[in-house]
Amino acid sequence: MSLPTAKDVKGVLPVVLMPYTDSRELHEDDFRRQADHMFQAGCDGFVVGQVSEVLRLTHTERLRVAELCAKSADGRGVSVMSTGAETAEAAVEYSRHAQDVGVDALLVMHPATIGLGEDEMVGYYSRVIESVDIPVIVHHAKSLAKQPLTIGAQARLLETYGEERVMFKPEAQPTPPRVSQLRDATGGRARVFEGDGGMMLLDCHGRGLTGTIPATEIAEIVVTLWRLLEAGDRANAERLGHPLSYLMCHMMNSTDYYLSIAKRFLKERGLITTTYVRGPSRHVLDDESWTEVNRTYQHLLTLAKELAR
C-alpha cells in the first residue's frame, strides 16, 4: 500500500470534539459516531486537533486516540492526528506512533510554553517532518503561540521538504492576508488550510486554499459552504457564510467557551453522550447566550440543507 501524500489531504476536514463517558473516560463509541457523522455529511476526512482537548489527554490516552483516529476513518477519507508537543523529542515519538498505527497525516503544533524564533521553529518542525514518511500540516495556533510563526519559517520548510511532505494551517491574525503572504512567498506552492471555524472562509477561499478545518458540530454547514465556493456560487455562499461568521464570533472567545457551546450542539443532536469539558475549565454557558447561538445554529443547519440540494 502506498503512503498518503499531501494531495490526498484536502477539502473539509473537521476536528473531532473529544467525547467522554459519565465517568470522565474517553468515549470511544462517541468518537466513532462523530467520524460516521462527518463522512455522512460529505467530509473528506477528519482531524484530531487542539480543540479535541489533545493537550489535556494523558500520554496513554493520546496513543489510544491516534489508534481510534486511524481506525475510524475506515477507508472513507483521510485521518489526521495532532502530534505536537513541548519538545521535539515528544513530538517525534507521538508522530512516529501515529504513523505506525495507520494515520494518514499529522497536524503538528509548535511548543506553547516558550516563544521560538524562526530558526528554532524550523529546527523543531524539521525534526518531526524527518522522523516520518506521511505528510505534516504545520499548525500555528494563535491562542497558544508565544510569538507568531513567521512566513519565512514556513517558506523555508516548504523549500526544504516540498509540497508533498508539508502543508500549513496558519492562524496568525489577520488570517486572510497571512494566507496570501504565504501563497506569494512560496510561488503558490503552499497547500494551506483555513482554521477559524469557517469564519474567514469567504475571504480565504479565493486566496488559494487547499481545504478547511472546522469542527464536528458545523461539518455539514461547512461542506455546503465549501462546495458553493468551489462552484463559484458566491451569492449563496454569502447567505451561509455570513451567519456562520456571526456564530463563530460568539464561540471563539476561548477554547473552553467554544467547547461548552459545540458540545451542547452535539449532545442535543445525539452525537455525544455528555457535554463534559476536561478541566481546568471554569466556563459555564449562560441561558441567554445559549438561546442566541442555538437560534443561529438551527438557521444554519436548515439553510445548509436547503442550499445543498
Are residues 23 and 221 in contact, defined by beta-carbon separation less than 8 angstroms?
no
Q: Helix or strand or coil: residue 79?
A: strand
Q: CB-based burial of residue 266 (10 Å sphere; 0-12 exposed, 13-18 middle, 19+ buried)?
A: buried
String of DSSP letters for 200-234: THHHHGGGT-SEE--BGGGHHHHHHHHHHHHTT-H
User: Rounded to whole angstroms, how far apart are CA atoms 129 and 304?
Assistant: 37
Cell matching residue 115: 516563544
114 annotated ligand-binding residue:
no
Q: Which residue, among 219, 178, 167, has the nearest Cα to 197 in the 3D structure?
A: 219
Asked if omega into 280 is within 30° of 0 (cis), the reply is: yes
Are residues 78 and 44 in contact, defined by beta-carbon separation less than 8 angstroms?
yes
Q: Which residue ranges are tagged as binding site for pyruvate? A: 213
Q: Which residue ranges are tagged as binding site? A: 213
